[in-house]
Amino acid sequence: MTSSVVYNGELRTVCTHLKSGSSFETDAPTDNNGKGERFSPTDLMATSLATCMLTVMGIKARNTMGFDLTGMKAEVLKIMKADPRRVGGIEITIHIPDSLKDLDNKSKTILINTGMTCPVFQSINPAIEVKVDWGAWS
């Protein structure tokens, strides 16, 4: 088992990672009867893409390229569609730390390809439009 999820009423859950015991709460979004005070399930889906991209890029940079991506940031926009209600798009903007803005083109290409082929990206339904803006690396 990976996690447990307990419904606590009021459209909220508590999610616990079983190995570490760490937990967080979710809430339904305001446009779907919730209070929108925590990540919604669809927020987590979109955000997991960015966390996966940065994580695998960090692994690649540290383990095979000899540098660190500390300070790299991703901003995530989730776009909902109706009928059926679903995530229709995810837009991610990558912010490159100053220390990495002048990275050579080969390293940039390797890292971008690594991010764009992360496990979450590979798991997203092709009907979901994903756009990634690489900022200073574009």
pLDDT tier at 86, thresholds 50, 70, 90: very high
**Secondary structure (DSSP) of 66-108:** S---TT-EEEEEEEEETTTTEEEEEEEEEE--GGGTT--HHHH
Average pLDDT over residues 83-90: 96
pLDDT digits (tens, 9 = 90+) for 100-111: 999 999 999 999
> What span, in angstroms and rounded, lies between the C-alpha atoms of 9 and 23?
17
Q: Would you tell me which CATH number, out of the four given (3.90.25.10, 3.40.605.10, 3.30.300.20, 3.30.70.2740), belongs to the domain 41-137? A: 3.30.300.20
pLDDT digits (tens, 9 = 90+) for 26-83: 999 999 999 999 999 999 999 999 999 999 999 999 999 999 999 999 999 999 999 9
* Contact present, 25 and 31 (Cβ < 8 Å): no
**26 class by beta-carbon count within 10 Å (0-12 exposed, 13-18 middle, 19+ buried):** buried
What do you get for the CA distance between the two ends of the chain, in Å? 40
Locate the domains of the chain by residue range.
Answer: 3-32, 41-137
* Contact present, 6 and 13 (Cβ < 8 Å): yes
